[in-house]
Amino acid sequence: MDLPTTGQVPRVNTDRIEEMGVEAPTKQRPLLQVTGVNKTFGSVHVLHDVDFAVYPGSVTSLIGDNGAGKSTLVKTIAGIHPRDSGTISFNGEPVDIQSPKDTADLGIEVVYQDLALCENLDIVQNLFLGREKLHRGLLDEQAMEQAARDTLASLSVRTVKSVRQLVSSLSGGQRQTVAIAKAVLWNSKVVLLDEPTAALGVAQTKQVLDLVRRLAEQGLGVVLISHNMNDVLEVSDRVSAMYLGRVVADVPVTPATTREFLVELITSGQSGDVGTARASAAEGVESPQGGTDV
Amino acid sequence: MSDQALTDFALDNETMDFRAVVRSSFARLRSGDLGSLPAMLAIAALVAIFGSVNPSSFLSTINLANFLEQSSSVIVIAMAVSFTLLLGEIDLAAGFTAGVSAAVLATRLQEWPLLPSILMAALVAVALGTFTGFMVAKVGIPSFVVTLANVLLFQGVLLLLVREGGSVRIENEIIKDLVGGNMSPTVSWIFAGLALGLFTFSLLRQQRASHGAIPLSLVAFKVAAATLGAAVVTIVLNQNRAFPNAPAPIQGTPAVIPVVMVLLVGLNFVLNRTRYGRHLYAVGGNAEAARRAGINVERIRLSAFTICGLFAGVGGAFLASRVNSVDPNTGANDTLLLAVGAAVIGGTSLFGGQGRMLNAVLGGFVLALIPNGLTLVGKQTLPLIGEIDFGSSGTKFICAGVALLVASSVDALSRKRAR
């Protein structure tokens, strides 16, 4: 990644910062709200008083360098890592998330980097895996096939020949699409996408980003974790930047938001008036743990 | 089919005629998805070779019945082992599970009536399979290692049950007739009709669900071919195949055929129409994905070994019935290797997630045809090489080994090409 570490970083226009505002301008109530979450692995403090909010119908990008704590935050929300302190509210109500099942029951779905698909099964079989529709105790293939087709059509996925295609015959973008559709099929309200475009080519990335946008248009709260600032700028409504285990900025994305602004946020924890001072961000952190960013 | 038709679920809405179906099957073959084709070609080739060398014996009625009976036990144990192969696991001790279960059946039959004896044998087979499943799924030992230990363990149990050098005779007529008994000609015809009816019914059901992707003409073609095949086989098997001057005629379809067919249809049903079957394939394809989808992977693993044990036990009854006795060699020697070989020759993958019950049947036919045909070819004098006894055990082993190697090469090469 070409991060400007030294030399001239383009100055950010202060007018624009005022216009963006550091406080969240959204009057909408957040669908998912994380407040003051802390997480340590042994002596390593990975998440510091993290506040993070997801709004319905909008895409919130979570950005940060390797080891900033993005994946740990997602896994904490998903119930894979228990948190040390802090609260998670869903629809304004505090919720007790202890396991991945709790999140799934709330309607929060996580689409992981390594796609959780079975290549030997077809699209329908994968979409309904573990939640097969039954008719008199037997698999109801017709109903599942129709529901799969409807879901894909509602997401404007029109690139698959047949919903009976094996996943092994799909391209990377199509697989990612199926993985995301799997999350949507269950009327989930919040979808967290961990680096969905990391392994994709240009055309396939566009396919997936279009899909991300459509999820938000359907009223879901979407969280996109990405290293690619161009992707982030293209689809996000808001950006939360993490730096050494803290959320240093939570800003709306406007046409004036630049790539350089975001890169500066994730590499130094601040940009212009936005962000936390370097000293306070680094305090109490032994080292950025690359190993925790899995 | 235009390029534009390749998106937007085009194939789901496409109605195909007979020629389109044939064309798309060829396209699938070219893409490396060979399915059971190699096994079917092998069966055709073996029948052609043996049939031309020794038509009077190989193509005789008695040999057809004999061959079907010979292949039955391998087929049933191959079906059992397929459940573990679908998970990418293996049960090397399935042969001895069959042996132990058969020994329990034989010894119990000496004191108990039929039904409790069968239940006891089944219970033992289930217990052995569950034990293996527990060691693999809960304790976490690789199945190769667990079942390698079980080979010794179960062989020891078998030796203790039937005593070294001893054998336990089976007197029960029903068990004796399982492999070796025949249905009367009338019952054979009724059976053929029932089987055809079921076949037609299931094809029509698929056709209705396919929304035009399967043309009625294809169904008609398949039903016609099956009817012809069933009629020819039934007519042939209904001929008296006893030697001249025999006290009673031997005729009718061997009783083992409906039994194997019920197992085939039943297990196929479990794999394709139930949630359990779907989860079995999912765990075999990607255990992590299955776990994330909420499937209890450990339970699926354990149960697959339990099922494998139960049907290995059924295979044991077949082995015992064939020779009307159980000895320390029942289920030993090459039984397990032939069963795994049959599944693989039929097209079941050793890496999990791929395979059908029909593969076990087709592969079992191939591996039973080889010794059957070679015995009848017997001693032949070949140019340059001289006299070779094709009926010897050495030649049979070599030919079976070559068949297995060819089958797995075809599989590996077609996969390579598909990639």
Which tens digits make up the pLDDT trace of A160-175? Answer: 778 888 888 888 778 8
| The token pair that represents A151 in the structure block | 């879901």
What's at B310, amino acid-wise? Answer: L
> What is the phi-psi region of residue A247: left when phi exceeds 0, alpha when psi lies from -120 to 50, beta otherwise?
beta
Residue A206 CA to chain centroid, in angstroms? 16
Residues of A in contact with B282 (CB under 8 A): 118, 121, 125, 129-130
Over chain A, what is the mean pLDDT?
79
CA-nearest residue to A179 within chain B is: B289
Kindly state the average pLDDT of the residues A199-227: 86
Q: 3-state class of A59 per DSSP?
A: strand
Do A132 and B278 lie within an 8 Å CB cutoff? yes
- Which of the two residues, B412 and B49, has the higher pLDDT score? B49
Residues of B in contact with A114 (CB under 8 A): 288
Q: How many whole angstroms separate alpha carbon B146 and alpha carbon A100?
A: 32
Do A116 and B8 lie within an 8 Å CB cutoff? no
pLDDT greater than 70 at residue A124: yes
Interface residue B280 vs chain A (CB under 8 A): no
Residues of B in contact with A131 (CB under 8 A): 293-294
Q: How many whole angstroms separate alpha carbon B200 and alpha carbon B181?
A: 28
Q: Token match 């009223």: residue?
A: A219
Q: How many whole angstroms separate alpha carbon A31 and alpha carbon A33?
A: 7
CA-nearest residue to A121 within chain B is: B282
Q: How confident is the model at residue B8 (pLDDT cuts 50, 70, 90)?
A: low
- Chain B segment 185-214 residues within 8 A of A by beta carbon are 209
Res B3: pLDDT: 37
CA-nearest residue to A160 within chain B is: B7
pLDDT greater than 50 at residue A46: yes
Alpha helical stretches, state H, B32-184:
37-53, 55-58, 61-85, 94-109, 114-133, 143-162, 173-178
Interface residue B10 vs chain A (CB under 8 A): yes
Do B11 and A161 lie within an 8 Å CB cutoff? yes
- Which of the two residues, A294 and A38, has the higher pLDDT score? A38
pLDDT greater than 60 at residue B255: yes
CA-nearest residue to B10 within chain A is: A161
Contacts of A61 (CB under 8 A, 6+ apart): A223, A224, A225, A226, A232, A235, A236, A238, A239, A240, A253
- Which of the two residues, A200 and A294, has the higher pLDDT score? A200
Interface residue B27 vs chain A (CB under 8 A): no
Do B278 and A134 lie within an 8 Å CB cutoff? no
Residues of A in contact with B289 (CB under 8 A): 115-118, 126, 129
Mutate to test the interface with A, among B7, B9, B30, B87 (most CBs of A within 10 A): B9
Res B415: pLDDT: 67
Kindly state the average pLDDT of the residues A178-203: 83
pLDDT greater than 50 at residue A21: no
Do B11 and A162 lie within an 8 Å CB cutoff? yes
CA-nearest residue to B293 within chain A is: A130
From the list A117, A160, A165, the residue facing B286 with the nearest CB is A117
Q: What is the largest CA-CA distance in chain A?
A: 69
From the list B9, B11, B286, the residue facing A118 with the nearest CB is B286
pLDDT greater than 70 at residue B374: yes
Do A158 and B6 lie within an 8 Å CB cutoff? no
- Residue of B396, B344, B393, B391 lying closest to B370 (CA atoms): B396
pLDDT greater than 70 at residue B5: no
Over chain B, what is the mean pLDDT?
87
CB pairs under 8 A between A and B: 88
Which tens digit of pLDDT belongs to each residue from A245-269? 888 888 888 888 888 888 888 888 7
Residues of B in contact with A139 (CB under 8 A): 272-275, 278
| The token pair that represents A180 in the structure block | 């995301």
Tell me what ipTM this predicted complex has.
0.83
Res B418: pLDDT: 59
Task: Answer whether B96's CB lies under 8 Å from B148's CB.
Answer: no
Residues of A in contact with B9 (CB under 8 A): 149, 152-153, 160-163
pLDDT greater than 70 at residue B380: yes
Enclosing H/E stretch for A28: none
Res A115: pLDDT: 67
Enumerate domains of chain A plus CATH numbers. Answer: 1-107+191-294 (3.40.50.300), 115-187 (no CATH)
Alpha carbon distances (Å) from B232 to B3, B52, B164, B222, B253? 45, 20, 46, 15, 12
Q: How many whole angstroms separate alpha carbon B228 and alpha carbon B210?
A: 26
From the list A101, A132, A161, the residue facing B275 with the nearest CB is A132
How far does B296 lie from chain A, in Å, by closest CA? 9
How far does B93 lie from chain A, in Å, by closest CA? 27
How far does B374 lie from chain A, in Å, by closest CA? 38
Res A125: pLDDT: 92
